[in-house]
Amino acid sequence: MNKEKILIIEDDSIVALDIKRILNNLEYKVTNIVSNYEDAISSIKYEKPTLVFSDINLGKDKKDGIDIINEIQKNSYISVIYLTAYSDEDTIQRAIKTNPLGYILKPFKKEDIKSTLLLALYKMKDEKFEKNISDIKLDEDYFYDLKNEILFYKSKPIKLSQKENQLLKILVEAKGRLVSFREIEYLLWQDFPVCDSTLRTLIYRLRTKLNYKIIKTIPSIGCKILNST
């Protein structure tokens, strides 16, 4: 049995059961089959699927599959493959904004499900690898997204000023190496001289946002990040 958990959002029960049968035959676990907005949101929240197969048009429901994914992605990204009988430009443009991993037109064949799923899983694996190498763990509570230059505390982003972010990035990229104050001054201000108090204040503000425990300073020499991985 493959480890991925898949949710099916489909208002046509025959189509939904057909998709489930195909996925089960491919040894994937289907967490649930739902047919409307409320059940889909609840299922994603509590069952935490790794991938969603979602029809776009959910019949009488006022909100469609794209609305469901949009709502979930307000808080966190979820991987989705859309199923639909519609291929109009407006629908496709709405779907594209949710960054889907696949798009299957009805009526479909087993091979359509299998090939689209395998491609989606490959993309998911590649994205997870890229995310892992860009997420730098600073300690148990803090990590820094090096690619997007965002500091997180327990999954919540922390607002940094431009100079604070630049300083943190310099220290993170140094990978525990002691960075001299002179080098920091050059990288942050280059040919614009600043007084010592300006850099001290900047380091103090950043250390405050990191609860004083991640940046170590060596008086008159420099500073470094402790135990980044």
Question: What's the whole-number mean pLDDT along residues 193-220?
Answer: 91
How high is the pLDDT of residue 84? 87
For the stretch 69-86, pLDDT in tens is: 999 988 777 899 999 887
- Does domain 5-133 match CATH 3.40.50.2300? yes
pLDDT value of residue 118? 92
91 pLDDT band (50/70/90 cuts)? confident
Segments of the chain assigned to CATH 1.10.10.10: 138-225
Q: Using pLDDT thresholds of 50, 70 and 90, give the confidence band for residue 131.
A: low
Taking only the tens place, the pLDDT of each residue in 32-78 is 999 999 999 999 999 999 999 999 999 888 899 999 999 998 877 78
Phi, psi of 173 (to 5 degrees): -70, -20
Residue 33: per-residue pLDDT: 98
Contact 10, 64 (CB under 8 A): no
* 138-225: CATH architecture: Orthogonal Bundle (1.10)
Q: Give the pairing type, strands 142-145 and 51-55.
A: unpaired
User: How large is the average pLDDT for residues 164-179?
Assistant: 90
Residue 8 has pLDDT above 90, yes or no: yes
Q: Which of 54, 56, 72 is nearest to 64 (CA)?
A: 56
pLDDT at 139: 86
List pLDDT tens digits, range 137-165: 888 889 888 878 889 988 788 999 999 99
Q: Is the pLDDT of residue 28 over 80?
A: yes
DSSP state of 177: P
Please give the pLDDT value at position 161: 94
The pLDDT of 116-126, averaged and rounded, is: 85
Residues of each domain in the chain carrying CATH 3.40.50.2300 = 5-133
Half-sphere exposure of 3 (CA within 13 A, CB side): 2
Query: pLDDT per residue over 189-199, tens digit each?
Result: 887 778 889 99
